[in-house]
Amino acid sequence: MSGAESLRNAPARTAVIGSERDKDGERLDAERLLAQKASGGDRAAYGQLYEQYIDRIYRYIFFKVSDRSTAEDLASQTFMKAWDAIGDYEWRNHPFGAWLFRIAHNLVVDHHRARRDHVALDDASPQLERKASGTETRPESVLAEMLTLDRVRHAIGRLTEEQQQVLVLRFFEGLDTSEVAELMGKRRGAIRGLQFRALSALRELLHREQGDWTE
């Protein structure tokens, strides 16, 4: 593409990015309003938040526990705990989605601590494959589709726990950097660095495995 063509296309690209940011802002504003109503005891508002997040919370937990019944139970506990504590919730720089994922994460940690279990990444494949069957082309959807490949699942399973978590939250569940930082208790810069290292390690593992297959 010539320099002139790039300049002509720049306003269009900027407009698209601006439109996406506007939509994200509208979504957050609507979610903030629901969270404020719910924190005041509005069950209907909390019900809407439940509908928005139940599938994502369930998928996240299932990815970690690899058992449908356990995932359903822990997802239910997540929303019960959230409702019990909703009166103390304040939005500020603490988005509702990140708050929910933090509760879910803590429940998963407690579950593994009690059961001394191990996460089996391959067992998450049914949920991952259903997610990947959609027609979306967003980055998280692309990665979800990649996760249906055995070699990619195996490669991700060889990453550190933190690297696995940041990839799942960022590209599978679609959380932004701030939300992942809130969930994992790290600074945004640390999350960006962790994401870069995770993707680099994943790319290296896939390249190495591909070389082994072609030899």
Structure-token pair, residue 64? 């970690």
Residues 61, 119 contacting (CB under 8 angstroms): no
Domain ranges across the chain: 33-119, 121-215
Pinpoint the alpha helices (H) of 40-120.
Answer: 43-65, 68-85, 96-115
- Write out the H or E segment, with its range, that includes residue 1: none
CATH of domain 121-215: 1.10.10.10
In angstroms, the CA 54 to CA 68 distance is: 14
May I ask the CATH architecture of the domain 33-119? Orthogonal Bundle (1.10)
Helix, strand, or coil here: 49?
A: helix
Interacting residues of 110 by C-beta distance below 8 A, sequence separation 6+: none
The reported pLDDT for the residue numbered 145 is: 55
Residue bearing the bigger pLDDT, 82 or 127 = 82
pLDDT computed for residue 206 by the predictor: 81
Model pTM score: 0.60
> Is residue 8 scored above 60 in pLDDT?
no
> What does the pLDDT look like over 174-205, one tens digit per residue?
788 888 887 787 889 999 999 999 999 988 88
- Asked if residue 61 has pLDDT above 50, the reply is yes
Residue 213: is its pLDDT beyond 50?
no
Look at residue 38 and give its three-state secondary structure. Answer: helix
Question: In the block, which residue shows the tokens 């720089």?
Answer: 93
Task: For residues 60 and 179, give the distance between their C-alpha atoms in angstroms, rounded to a whole number.
Answer: 14
In the chain, the DSSP E strands lie at none
Task: Answer for the pair 24, 17: CB distance below 8 angstroms, yes or no.
Answer: no
